[in-house]
Amino acid sequence: MGKTVSEKILSAKSGQDAHAGDIVIAKVDVVMAQDGTGPLTVQKLEELGVEKLPNPRRTVFFIDHAAPSPRKELSNAHRILREFAKRAGAQLSEAGEGVCHQRLLESHVKPGDIVVGADSHTCTSGALGAFATGMGSTDVAIAMASGKTWFRVPETLKMEITGQLPYGVYAKDVILHIIGLIGSDGATYKALEFTGDTVRAMSMSDRFTLCNMAVEAGAKTGLVESDEVTRAFLKERERTWDFEEIKSDEDAEYERSIQINVSGLEPLVATPHMVDNIKPVSKVEGTSIDQVFIGTCTNGRIEDLRVAANILKGNRCHPKVRLLVCPASKGVYLQALDEGLIEVFIEMGGVVLNPGCGACVGVHQGILADGEVCLATQNRNFRGRMGNPEGFIYLASPATAAASAIEGKITDPREYL
Amino acid sequence: MIYQGRAHKYGRDVDTDVIIPARYLTTSDPDQLAGHCLEDLDPGFVSRVKLGDVLIAEENFGCGSSREHAPIAIKGAGVSCVIAKSFARIFYRNAINMGLPIYECPEAVNGIDAGDDVRVDTEKGEITNLTRGVVFKITPFPPFVREIIESGGLINYVRAKLKVEG
């Protein structure tokens, strides 16, 4: 019987002939925790008396959720990570280096890897043809200590995406459409394999956006088969040797195939307070907004900043809107500076934040006031997400976010393209 | 094990951001986290909840972030177990790792209202609504999961195993 991408990777790393439903113990290639979940991971490692790690070069701690620290309690949490990483020889990604998921896909993850992270959006790297999934601090501590963890091999939903994306419609709109279609628990425990002509034609940046939000449908991971686009992405980062072709078999067994034709898709938004409350922009057009946030592991890559800057150039941010822009990593930031994008954001009235998770997670930077509305390019709009349960968050593509920043209300980006 | 207490009932998609908002993730101390448990969804919960009480919810309980602080906060608040129509994947694993028993039982969710007295008998695999005198069947956990929960979580379980293996 043929295998899906997930089954192939889990078979290779467990040494078992793994199929959906099996429980396997598999070798973990990359394991990480961030400054929100990492201190608890370190505490668990200390409780177990672990000082030496089996794979310190691919064990990474990220200081990105509250970086640089806005409070002394978080400064102390950061110190726990710094000191443990030094003691155990693990890798440390300091404040300003970027969002963990962006840094993982730029420098750490390769096709065929198993990646375990104490952060739910670890599934982002699945776009490289890796099996990447989020777990809690304790599971991650055990994976760090032993180099292994147990998995239930997931059933796979095959998302066959076809058709040409219309002007002004992006990968973000596609994944919002999918989440609206199957619901916030439509893929619980499953893997989402994104395939079809549209995906093959997408950049890696767009594929990361798709996989990033797989968890918003409850999925264990999102994956894309590796191909020439993957190879080119790695080559650009001088990682040619990391490439490996990972494809599902012709006769692989899927729980379900879902066909999605995107040629008629419109720009979409997720409305408060759930990611599956999806509406076309046209239905909420004119909704007044107070803040626009462009960035995050979902849409903070150079391609996203280019789209936003193109729309913003020559315009001004609406006087009542605060625009926050946050490049997802140092590399993205430097590239954006080089291309003059940062200048565009600053000149039109925006605030550029240092790379990190900042505003999205609501720990610092850009916390909403009571009753305020934010249009953001992130992946979650839960109540309280941006630091205030009295705030309202809409999720959209960088293009919709940029056009809305100019108008001061939710706006169809096609008017600006 | 027998768990018994009053039911607190919520809807679907109770996410980890409302179970314990990120702004409180400056500690992993159960008592401190418990003081903010469900604060953004139901600010009165913390003052109403009593030791042994049971959380009841519709589908997709615990969706969102991977923060283990969510089951820690719930357990710290005194909740003995969570019964929902379904759980999000990461939360499910985290709850077991933290020694918080959770049960998927749609019938029980439909058959229990907020304020009802509930008893869960893990040996018999039964949830009883004592207020209404109705019994619901649950599938017991496999033995190793029960052992993890009864040890108080995965770390205690692994430590005990390491000790036995010496």
Residue in chain A nearest B87 by alpha carbon: A188
Return per-residue pLDDT of chain A as tens, 417 residues: 899 999 999 999 999 999 999 999 999 999 999 999 999 999 999 999 998 999 999 999 999 999 999 999 999 999 999 999 999 999 999 999 999 999 999 999 999 999 999 999 999 999 999 999 999 999 999 999 999 999 999 999 999 999 999 999 999 999 999 999 999 999 999 999 999 999 999 999 999 999 999 999 999 999 999 999 999 999 999 999 999 999 999 999 999 999 999 999 999 999 999 999 999 999 999 999 999 999 999 999 999 999 999 999 999 999 999 999 999 999 999 999 999 999 999 999 999 999 999 899 999 899 999 999 999 999 999 999 999 999 999 999 999 999 999 999 999 999 999
Contact A185 B88 (CB under 8 A): yes
Domain of residue A46, CATH code: 3.30.499.10
Residue in chain B nearest A77 by alpha carbon: B26
Contact A135 B93 (CB under 8 A): yes
Closest CA–CA distance from residue B67 to any residue of chain A (Å): 6
Contact A135 B64 (CB under 8 A): no
Specify whether A302 is located in the same domain as A174. Answer: no
Interface contact B27, partner A, CB < 8 A: yes
Q: What is the pLDDT of residues B50-102, one digit of tens each?
A: 999 999 999 999 999 999 999 999 999 999 999 999 999 999 999 999 999 99
Contact B159 A47 (CB under 8 A): yes
Last residue of a domain, one of A206, A234, A260: A260
Specify whether A12 is located in the same domain as A147. Answer: yes
Contact A39 B13 (CB under 8 A): no
Interface contact B60, partner A, CB < 8 A: yes
| % of chain B beyond a pLDDT of 70 | 99
Q: What's residue B162's pLDDT?
A: 77
String of b and e for B106-127 (b: at least 16 CB within 10 Å)?
Answer: eebbebbeeebbbbbebeeebb
| Under 8 Å between Cβ of A370 and A286 | no
> Testing the interface with B: which of A137, A367, A395 to mutate, by most B Cβ within 10 A?
A137
Residue in chain A nearest B25 by alpha carbon: A36
Specify whether A303 is located in the same domain as A218. Answer: no
Specify whether A285 is located in the same domain as A175. Answer: no
Specify whether A179 is located in the same domain as A309. Answer: no
Neighboring chain B residues of A190 at a CB cutoff of 8 Å: none
Specify whether A320 is located in the same domain as A232. Answer: no
Which chain A residues have any C-beta within 8 angstroms of a chain B C-beta? 36-37, 39-40, 43-44, 47-48, 65, 71, 73-74, 77, 117-120, 122, 134-139, 141-142, 184-185, 188-189, 218, 220, 274, 361-363, 380, 382-385, 387, 389
Specify whether A102 is located in the same domain as A119. Answer: yes
Instruction: Compare CB distances from A48 to B27, B94, B159 and report the shortest one's residue.
Output: B159
Terminal C-alpha separation, chain B = 29
Contact A185 B64 (CB under 8 A): no
Specify whether A41 is located in the same domain as A164. Answer: yes
Q: What is the mean pLDDT of residues B123-129?
A: 95
Instruction: Domain count for chain A, please give it.
Output: 2
Backbone angles phi, psi at A106, to 5 degrees: -75, -40
Interface contact B1, partner A, CB < 8 A: no
Neighboring chain A residues of B28 at a CB cutoff of 8 Å: 39-40, 43
Specify whether A242 is located in the same domain as A276. Answer: no
Structural domain harbouring A174: 5-260
Specify whether A282 is located in the same domain as A244. Answer: no
On the question of pLDDT at B42 being above 60, the answer is yes
Residue B166 confidence class, pLDDT cut points 50, 70, 90: low
Specify whether A61 is located in the same domain as A141. Answer: yes
Instruction: Compare CB distances from B27 to A73, A139, A387 and report the shortest one's residue.
Output: A73
Neighboring chain B residues of A392 at a CB cutoff of 8 Å: none
Q: Which residues 76-95 on chain B approach chain A with CB closer than 8 angstroms?
A: 86, 88-90, 93-94
Closest CA–CA distance from residue B108 to any residue of chain A (Å): 20
Q: Which residues 122-151 on chain B approach chain A with CB closer than 8 angstroms?
A: none
Contact B66 A118 (CB under 8 A): yes
Specify whether A95 is located in the same domain as A163. Answer: yes
Last residue of a domain, one of A241, A260, A279: A260
Q: Is the ipTM of this complex over 0.95?
A: no
